Amino acid sequence: MAAAGLFWAHWLAFVYVPMEGTMRAAQRIFYFHLPSAWLCYVGFLLCAGASLLYLLKQQSRHDALALAAAEVGLAFGVIVLTTGPLWARAAWGVWWRWEPRLTTMAVLFLIFACYWLIRSFGGDSAPVRKFGAALAVLGAPNIFFVHVAVTRWRGDHPNNIQLEPSMRVALYSTLLVFMVVFGLLVRLRYRVHLEERAAAALSRRLSRLGA
Amino acid sequence: MSAPRAARFGRAVWVILRKDLKVEARSKETLATLALFGAVLAFVFAFGFVGDPAVNLQVTPGALWAGLLFVGSLGVGRTFAREQEDDAFTALTLSPAPRAALLAAKALVNFGLTAGAMALLTPLLALLLHVDLTPHALPLAALLALGAAGFALVGTPLAVLAVGARLPEVLLPMVTFPLVTPVLICGVRGCAAQLGTSVDDDVWAWAQMLLAFDLAAGVGAFLLFDSMVSE
């Protein structure tokens, strides 16, 4: 169903919505860019929240959820950071601007990329999990400061855009489809991490029994 | 915190701080490394950026804060590398000293080392880039001190955790960098405002932002530190 939804979203974005006046075809990227950006933020927030829970309660499943959310958030972040510059090149003439939302997104992406790197290459011990959790918990509110600082510095990202009804249909449909995909992916990764941990615990028990 | 507890806390901070300062005073290892590293950086900046006086003044804030970033991330890693020998870190966490005292002492050491290295690096940069920073000495020192404090408050708890988790040492600077981005933006913009190379000339607003970041980072670090460190 999610796969069908993705086809539907592509059809809406590329065929159904009318051509926009000034930006022409480049505007169509927006139907993927905006939902991905929102879900990327949701993923990182979920990761920070689950990490805080993990630090407070020390339960493995919170950590597994945090890791799953960060992974899926990063995947959506890659979509945002590729579609964004493509649009910017057409709209602003440059690939990148040091503008609050772009900078915030880039720094946030970096923080969670580091999180993912540590979790992937640091091994899977409790201190590494805690390090990751601390990074997520300290990193998420940090974004507020980045945003305030860059806003003072400069700003011109499109805000509060007025949309045609058909465009709104396309936007909210893609958002809905992306949300379903996001939920499925997080659930999938969460289960994989839980299974992995169960398997690791079992093999530890087995090797103890054998010894 | 009651008076005796506060006194005990203060004493614990002092003991750890004095130990680290004594080790540093005897070996001079970290400060010498940082100062030399800073000098190398200053040469690279000079090779890359020296142009006419207006250009030099324009690149000075960037050079200063890039220096702080490198020196700071190097120093933060060093203070804990020492504790890894003979597993001294475990002894520290097992000692009756409150964890927060450990964090406070280590953050102070890191702050001192970074600030000390910057005190050497700043005049050297001014010399090599031919800019006269003496009229701006106090505001620049204040901005750099606030920046060094932010760096120490973010980097120190992460360094403690990295030692506990036995993470490779290269990971630490990489993790610290995105977290101190606000410090770098505010610092560079604040310095540029002070030197008059940007349209914006409100240095105080940038200093306030740095101060707010330091406070938030400090509160966050101390609130979460206990649950972060595992025995």
Residue in A closest to B221 by C-alpha:
A138
Measure in Å the smallest separation between the Cα of A211 and chain B Cα atoms. Answer: 27
Is there a contact between B34 and B113 (Cβ–Cβ < 8 Å)? yes
Average pLDDT over residues A77-101: 80
The larger pLDDT score, comparing residue A5 to residue A138, is at A138
pLDDT at A116: 92
Cβ–Cβ gap B224/A134 under 8 Å = yes
Domain housing B110? 3-228
Average pLDDT over residues B134-151: 89
pLDDT band of residue A11 (cuts 50, 70, 90) is low
Measure in Å the smallest separation between the Cα of B86 and chain A Cα atoms. Answer: 19
pLDDT per residue as tens digits for the range A191-200: 888 888 888 8
pLDDT at A154: 61
Measure CB to CB from residue A135 to each of B175, B182, B189 and give the nearest one: B175
Q: In whole angstroms, what is the distance from residue A164 CA to residue A139 CA?
A: 37
The tally of domains found in chain B comes to 1
Measure in Å the smallest separation between the Cα of B231 and chain A Cα atoms. Answer: 9
Residues of A in contact with B229 (CB under 8 A): 130
Residues of B in contact with A55 (CB under 8 A): 224, 227-228
Measure CB to CB from residue A118 to each of B167, B189, B213 and give the nearest one: B167
Measure in Å the smallest separation between the Cα of A148 and chain B Cα atoms. Answer: 9
pLDDT band of residue A47 (cuts 50, 70, 90) is very high
Measure CB to CB from residue B167 to each of A131, A148, A152 and give the nearest one: A131
